[in-house]
A = this chain, B = another copy of it.
Amino acid sequence: MSEKIYVGADIGGTAIKVGICNENGDLLHTFEGPTETEQGTDRILSNIAGYARHIVSESPYSWEQVAGLGVGIAGFIDIPKGFMKFSPNLPLTNVPLKDYLEAALNKKVRINNDANVAALGEAWGGAGRGVGSCVVYTLGTGVGGGIVVDGRLIEGFTGMGGELGHISIVPDLEAIQCGCGKMGCLETVSSATGIIRMAKDAVERGDRTSLTAIEKLTAKDVFDAAKSGDEAAQRIVSRAAFYLGKSLAAVSVIINPQRFILGGGVSAAGEFLFAQVREVFRKYAQDRAQEGVDIVAAELGNNAGVVGAAGLLLHA
A interface residues with partner B (beta carbon < 8 Å): 132-133, 147, 149, 154-164, 166-169, 171, 180-185, 246, 249-258, 283-289, 291-293
Contacts and interface: CB of A to CB of B under 8 A. Distances in A.
Contacts of A167: 249-250, 253-254
A157 B293 contact: yes
Total copies of the chain: 2
Given A147-B254, A160-B252, 12 more contacts: A155-B256, A156-B255, A158-B288, A159-B288, A160-B253, A160-B288, A161-B256, A168-B285, A182-B284, A182-B285, A183-B283, A250-B250
Contacts of A161: 254-256
Main SS of chain A's interface residues?
Answer: loop
Nearest to A172: B171
Contacts of A285: 168, 182
Given A158-B256, A256-B157, A163 B289 contact: yes
Contact of A289 (B149, B156, B289): B156
A141 B286 CA distance: 18
Top-7 shortest CB links A-B: A156-B256, A160-B289, A160-B256, A157-B258, A163-B253, A168-B284, A171-B171
Contacts of A154: 149, 255-256
B246 A166 contact: no
Contact of A166 (B157, B160, B289): B289
A222 to B, nearest CB: 23
Nearest to A174: B171
Contacts of A155: 256
A253 B293 CA distance: 22
B149 A286 contact: no
A264 to B, nearest CB: 17
A256 B161 CA distance: 5
A163 B258 contact: no
Contact of A168 (B163, B185, B249, B291): B249
A251 B255 CA distance: 10
Contacts of A288: 158-160
Contacts of A258: 157
